[in-house]
Amino acid sequence: MNMKSDGPSRFSLWGLIEACGVCVVACTLAGFFGGMHWLLELTTHFRVQYLVLLAVMSGLLFFGRRKRMAVLYLSCAMLNAVVVAPWLIPASKTKPVGDSLRLMVLNVHTANTRHDLVLEEIRRLKPDVLLLMEVDSAWVQALQGLAEIFPNRLIEPREDNFGIALFSRLPLKTPQVVEWTGDSGVPSITAEVEVSGQSLFFIGTHPVPPASEGNSRLRNEQLVKIAETVSQQKLPVVVAGDLNATPWSPHFQKFEKAASLKDTGRRSGWHPTWPVDFPPLWIPLDHCLVSHAIPYAVRTVGKNAGSDHYPIIVDIVLPRN
């Protein structure tokens, strides 16, 4: 189809582009009000997609000499760029000398039968601390071989996609399963991890996905409770897991501020973790946040291990005593 030609086809194509652009503009603006309603919050998660779509459509409309709509779409693309830039632009960090550990976080996906791929990725990445989510009885059986690598562990299997497991090469002090919201009943794990004579307080968690008003409330309540727990800690803190929120969610940002933590995904580059099999909707749902006292925490993403999530790997250096 010739986009410059006169006739109904020309107007139909430009009209389609403009109609799609209006929808993306509406989602872009709705995202700024994500804290007001759970449905509006859903529009906050796809900022990168909005940026790309609006930039492309703006270019097409400039080419078609529809400058007014092109400028509108470009302006909204820039709004999204401002929001996501702190995560997309990687920072160059020199790893300081100090006690360090490698953390690996993976939602294994209960229905994932490729246990071999998960075990292969764990052995390849060689984490000191490993957090796995959606662990059921079948996964417990498949992970038995990890006992030789990780002598310290706490496993809470469940058949409802909310089982959780912590494995560690390093000593664990007072590991325990906790439930911060009784209504959701999903377990999290806390423990003190000893690193060369130092300790940090670790929280592994997996709130329910905000697919309804009730679940959104439960996820937000869990984040509030975790922030309250973190604020009472004197040790450096690491919070990790599938938080079922992107860093552009107002509830994620509220949690980060209330807990006085820093998102290791910030200035790490574009590292989406879900859904593995559908790149157009890739978003970062898996996170690691650390205390500001921790001088170095660099996050990357691992290989496809058969799950619908990619693993994240965080290399952490603790502050010197």
CA distances to 36, 46, 54 from 16, in Å:
30, 21, 14
Looking at residue 209, its amino acid is P
Which pLDDT value is given to residue 93? 77
Domains, the chain, ranges and CATH? 8-84 (no CATH), 100-317 (3.60.10.10)
Which pLDDT value is given to residue 97? 81
Q: Are 210 and 42 in contact (CB under 8 A)?
A: yes
Q: Which of 105, 88, 84 is nearest to 268 (CA)?
A: 88
Locate 245 and state its tokens: 């929120």
Q: Which residue numbers in the chain have pLDDT < 50?
A: 1-7, 9
At 63 the three-state DSSP class reads helix
Degrees to nearest 5, angle at CA 64 with 63 and 66: 110
Looking at residue 150, its amino acid is F
Write 45-48 long-range contacts (CB < 8 A, 24+).
45/245, 45/246, 45/248, 45/249, 45/283, 46/281, 46/283, 47/80, 47/83, 47/84, 47/246, 47/248, 48/80, 48/84, 48/88, 48/270, 48/272, 48/282, 48/283
Measured CA to CA, the distance from residue 59 to residue 20 in angstroms comes to 14
At 43 the three-state DSSP class reads helix
Measured CA to CA, the distance from residue 203 to residue 213 in angstroms comes to 25
Q: Which of 278, 305, 270, 256 is nearest to 130 (CA)?
A: 305
The beta strands (E) that lie in the chain are given as 100-107, 129-133, 152-156, 164-168, 172-178, 188-195, 198-204, 237-242, 261-263, 286-291, 296-301, 312-317
Looking at residue 270, its amino acid is W
Measured CA to CA, the distance from residue 117 to residue 307 in angstroms comes to 9
Name 133's bridge partners: 107, 164
Q: How far does CA 119 lie from the centroid of its chain?
A: 22
Identify the residue whose tokens are 């410059």. 4
Identify the residue whose tokens are 């996170």. 287
Sheet bearing 198-204, strands edge to edge: 172-178, 188-195, 198-204, 237-242, 286-291, 261-263
Which pLDDT value is given to residue 112? 96
Which pLDDT value is given to residue 11? 53
The pTM for the full model equals: 0.92
CB atoms within 10 A of CB 91: 10
Which pLDDT value is given to residue 1? 43
